[in-house]
Amino acid sequence: MSLKDKVKWDHKYDVPEYITGKEPVEWLKKNSYMLSGKGSALDIASGEGRNAVFAAEKGYKTLAVDISTTGLEKARALADEKGVTIETNSVDIDNWEIKKNSFDLILCFNFLDRRIFSAIKSGLKPGGLIFYETFTVDYLKYSNFKREWVLEYNELLNAFSELRILGYREVDANDKSFASLIALK
C-alpha cells in the first residue's frame, strides 16, 4: 500500500454516513454461532469497523487494523455507540507483521493481499477461526477492478486448505461475486 492508498481511503470514509453500514457482513452474522467470544480477534482492513465491533460485542478483545485513520476513527465511534471497546492501529499491511499464534479469531472482508495468507494462518492460535470474504473473478463483469484484486475460482479454498474448512461458498448474483470461507486451525 502507499500514501496514495491512505489518501484514497481517508477520502472515501470522510463522509457522515457509514458507507458499508454499521451491521457486520452477512456471512459473519449468519455464522456467529461459531464464535466463542473468548480471546483476541484481529480485523484486517477493518475500514469503518463494523466487523471488529461485532467481534467485540461477542466478547473478543479486538484489534482493528486499516491504512485509513479516518475509517478507524469511525470504527472507534461505532464501538462507543454500541458500548464496546476496540483497539485500532493504522497500518500499511505491506509493512505490518501478524505475530505468530496471536489471535483466536481473524476477520478479513473485501480485501485481498495474497502475500499475507501465510501470515494469517500462522497468526491464528490452535483452535482459532478465520472468516474471510472477498471478491472473485466474476466481479470483473460488474466493476472496474483489476484482475489482481480478485480471487480466481476456488483460490481462497485452496489457499487455506491445510486448515479445517467449516464453511465455503462462491456467489455470483445481484451484481456481486465473492468467495466466503470459515476455517479452523
Taken in order of first residue, the domains within the chain and their CATH numbers are 3-184 (3.40.50.150)
Which positions ≥6 away from 25 have C-beta within 8 Å? 50, 51, 109, 133
**pLDDT classification of 1: cutoffs 50, 70, 90:** low
Residue 133 has pLDDT above 90, yes or no: yes
What's the chain's average pLDDT? 95
pLDDT (0 to 100) of residue 115: 94
Q: What are the tens digits of pLDDT across the range 47-102?
A: 999 999 999 999 999 999 999 999 999 999 999 999 999 999 999 988 899 999 99
Its pTM stands at 0.96
pLDDT (0 to 100) of residue 95: 86
